[in-house]
């Protein structure tokens, strides 16, 4: 199957078999309706019934139908369609696309032939989008190889190769790396959030809690950032908004003690996921390390193998600075995943690839806007679509 076909299936959430089946079902239903029409007309012949009983029946049917529609709507709201998630990536990456893709488009339009000069210009564009030196070099080698292998003379089809290689470079043969490590039903999952202040950590915790609640999980929050003024109240507000309990102590208290309390409360109340906030003081790596070590110790003493995730929140708009922060946290603790906030606020969305390549830590979530459902699990195919959406829409419709 071609890359574009696979991509389309992923973006729309339908496999080609499902698409064919769906079309067949629709066709059959239409035919059936045509055939059944006369029978229905005959069946519709009303039996004589008391007008009041008829009215009650109609009312009941309308009520039932309304309820069914409402339930379906609520279900849909809880579980967005694959295509609506794809659109979130498209909107969230608009800034990056505006600068980065227009340059790539311009390049493809100017060059008829894929030659060394074309590669050099593309290299420059990718570097400007913060994709990172090593990733760009790797991509260039792969592109050169593919272009030679396919004996490509013109730029037709170059999008497909660029997109395919970007996804491959991100995945590195490991699919599903963005999934959260949630424990089986009935067991408590502990997620620890780390990251410097101001990156959007608290907002992200709130959004993640909302997401997990929508999946039917019982969620609790631990206000472990006892250092930043207002952090506890901010988390409390999110707790109320999302509808989950927040365990807290007063400002300045020991974060490990707050988390200890929270674990015990979570166990007692049959919570599925406990999300712990922490303060991100970076001025002294030794102190940061000591604080996180203590928190880790407390958690794993209460629940072996926990925390199940240590998520580092990074602000995408800070570019290379985010990479430096990540390096420090990586040295201080065992970070299992990155949450890249404010991806919608940067024109240099290539940072996702640089993070993956430089740190070898998967990006588990990306922030694509300020709304509560704008935190999305990172998906390399949707990301690549977001980068090239305008051009890909044309190419994907050609594939039909």
Annotated binding site for GTP: 195-202, 277-281, 341-344
Q: Is 345 in the site for ligand GTP (CB under 6 A)?
A: yes
Closer residue to ligand GTP (CB): 203 or 336: 203
The two beta strands, 375-377 and 363-367, are antiparallel
CB of 231 to ligand GTP, least distance (A): 6
Q: Segment 31-50, which members bind ligand GTP (CB under 6 A)?
A: none
Closest CB to ligand GTP: residue number: 367
CB of 345 to ligand GTP, least distance (A): 5
Number of residues that bind ligand GTP (CB under 6 A): 17
Q: Segment 289-318, which members bind ligand GTP (CB under 6 A)?
A: none
Closer residue to ligand GTP (CB): 344 or 381: 344
What distance in Å separates the CA atoms of residue 193 and residue 303, rounded to the nearest whole number?
A: 17
Q: Segment 209-268, which members bind ligand GTP (CB under 6 A)?
A: 228, 234
CB of 95 to ligand GTP, least distance (A): 10
Q: How many CB atoms lie within 10 A of CB 226?
A: 20
Residue 367 sits at φ, ψ, to 5 deg, of -90, 120
Q: Segment 322-341, which members bind ligand GTP (CB under 6 A)?
A: 341
Show Cβ contacts of residue 358 under 8 Å, excluding neighbours closer than 6 positions: 132, 134, 323, 326, 327
Closer residue to ligand GTP (CB): 340 or 359: 340
Q: Segment 356-375, which members bind ligand GTP (CB under 6 A)?
A: 367, 369-370, 374
Residue that has been written with the tokens 């024109």 in this structure: 347
Q: Provide the token pair at 157.
A: 């089809």
Closer residue to ligand GTP (CB): 189 or 202: 202
Tell whether omega for the bond before 83 is within 30 degrees of 0, i.e. cis: no
> What count of Cα atoms within 13 Å lies in the side-chain half-sphere of residue 229?
0
Closer residue to ligand GTP (CB): 80 or 345: 345
Straight-line distance from the first to the last Cα atom of the chain, in angstroms, rounded to the nearest whole number:
13
CB of 92 to ligand GTP, least distance (A): 8
CB of 276 to ligand GTP, least distance (A): 13
* x/- map, 179-208, ligand GTP, by CB under 6 A: ------------------xxxxxxx-----
CB of 370 to ligand GTP, least distance (A): 4
Taking a C-beta distance cutoff of 8 angstroms, is the pair 385, 89 a contact?
Answer: yes
Contact residues: ligand GTP, CB under 6 A: 197-203, 228, 234, 341-342, 344-345, 367, 369-370, 374
């Amino acid at each position: 199957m071609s890359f574009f076909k696979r991509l389309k299936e992923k973006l729309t959430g339908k496999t080609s078999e499902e698409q064919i089946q769906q079309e067949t079902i629709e066709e059959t239903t239409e035919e059936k309706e045509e055939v059944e029409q006369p029978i229905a007309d005959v069946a519709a012949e009303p039996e004589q019934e008391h007008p009041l009983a008829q009215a009650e029946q109609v009312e009941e049917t309308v009520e039932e139908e309304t309820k069914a529609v409402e339930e379906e709507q609520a279900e849909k709201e809880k579980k967005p369609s694959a295509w609506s998630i794809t659109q979130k990536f498209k909107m969230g990456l608009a800034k990056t696309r505006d600068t980065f893709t227009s340059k790539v488009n311009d390049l493809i339009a100017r060059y008829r032939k894929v030659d060394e000069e074309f590669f050099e210009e593309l290299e420059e564009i990718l570097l400007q989008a913060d994709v990172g030196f090593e990733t760009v070099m790797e991509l260039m080698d792969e592109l050169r190889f593919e272009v030679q292998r396919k004996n490509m003379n013109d730029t037709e089809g170059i999008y497909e190769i660029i997109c395919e290689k970007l996804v491959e470079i991100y995945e590195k043969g490991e699919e599903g790396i963005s999934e959260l490590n949630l424990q089986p039903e009935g067991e408590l999952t502990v997620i620890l959030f780390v990251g410097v202040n101001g990156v959007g950590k608290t907002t992200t915790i709130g959004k993640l809690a909302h997401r997990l609640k929508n999946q039917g999980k019982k969620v609790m929050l631990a206000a472990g950032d006892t250092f930043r003024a207002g952090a506890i109240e901010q988390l409390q507000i999110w707790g109320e908004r999302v509808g989950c309990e927040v365990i807290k102590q007063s400002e300045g208290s020991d974060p490990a003690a707050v988390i200890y309390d929270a674990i015990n409360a979570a166990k007692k109340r049959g919570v599925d996921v406990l999300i712990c906030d922490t303060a991100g003081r970076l001025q002294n790596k030794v102190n940061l390390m000591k604080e996180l070590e203590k928190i880790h110790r407390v958690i794993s003493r209460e629940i072996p193998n926990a925390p199940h995730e240590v998520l580092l929140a990074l602000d995408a708009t800070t570019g290379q600075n985010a990479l430096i922060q990540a390096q420090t946290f990586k040295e201080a603790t065992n970070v299992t995943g990155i949450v890249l906030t404010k991806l919608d606020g940067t024109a240099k969305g290539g940072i996702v690839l640089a993070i993956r390549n430089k740190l070898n830590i998967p990006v588990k979530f990306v922030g694509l806007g300020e709304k509560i459902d704008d935190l999305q699990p990172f998906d390399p195919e949707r990301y690549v679509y977001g980068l090239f959406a305008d051009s890909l829409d044309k190419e994907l419709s050609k594939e039909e």
